[in-house]
Amino acid sequence: MEIDIGSKIKELRKEKNISIADLSKLSGVSAGLISQVERNAVNPSVATLWKISKSLNSSIGYFFDEEPTPVFNPIVKKDKRKRIVTSDTIATYELLTPDLNRKIEFLYITINPGDSSRTGLINHDGEECGIVIKGKLMVKTKDKEYILEEGDSIYLDSTIPHRYINIGEEECISIWAMTPPSF
């Protein structure tokens, strides 16, 4: 399931009567990039989406939410998981919770051999814990590298810059819990 972030940004921007040029000044994101994101020509990086969301007085989670369901269903079927797509990653993120309006974020992450979760290190508030279900994963921080194989888990202080790299010869599947949510 793909989520239309661009339309939500445009809708919220227009609701607040803010031009693309004004949003550019407020967020520090170029007007050209904002326009491309709104037209879904590109997917924004997490950092870009964060800047835009803060400038629109919104949370990042707002852009991933769909229409509220009348009755809350706590079950997420594997073929109904919401995918989170950003331009700064080639990893596949699937949401294991029904939506992003929770106190914890629960993700199923797939990374192909030689690929990583991001091009550079990222940090955010909170903490996270992950377990490798399949493959071999390096968790790289500014100062250390941790190697995890199937069944291994790790706890991280998310304020320490980090990223995940598949150092195995097959796709790596891992499951992560983060609090507070970072998407």
Per CATH, 5-63 and 78-179 having the same topology is answered: no
| pLDDT tens digits along 22-63 | 999 999 999 999 999 999 888 888 788 888 988 888 877 777
pLDDT tens for 80-89 read 998 887 766 6
Q: If we measure between CA atoms, which residue out of 112, 124, 129, 120 comes closest to residue 183?
A: 124
Q: Where are the domains of the chain?
A: 5-63, 78-179
**CATH H superfamily, domain 5-63:** lambda repressor-like DNA-binding domains (1.10.260.40)
Per-position DSSP letters for the chain, written without gaps between them = ----HHHHHHHHHHHTT--HHHHHHHH---HHHHHHHHTTSSPPPHHHHHHHHHHTT--GGGGT--SPPSS------GGGPEEE--TT--SEEEE-SSSS-SSSEEEEEEE-TT-BS-SS-B--SSEEEEEEEESEEEEEESS-EEEEETT-EEEEETTS-EEEEE-SSS-EEEEEEEES---
Least reliable range by pLDDT among 8-17, 22-31, 81-90, 143-152: 81-90
pLDDT value of position 118: 77
CATH class, domain 78-179, is mainly beta
49 near 92, Cβ under 8 Å? Answer: no
* pTM (global) more than 0.75: no
Peptide bond just before 180 cis, omega within 30 deg = yes
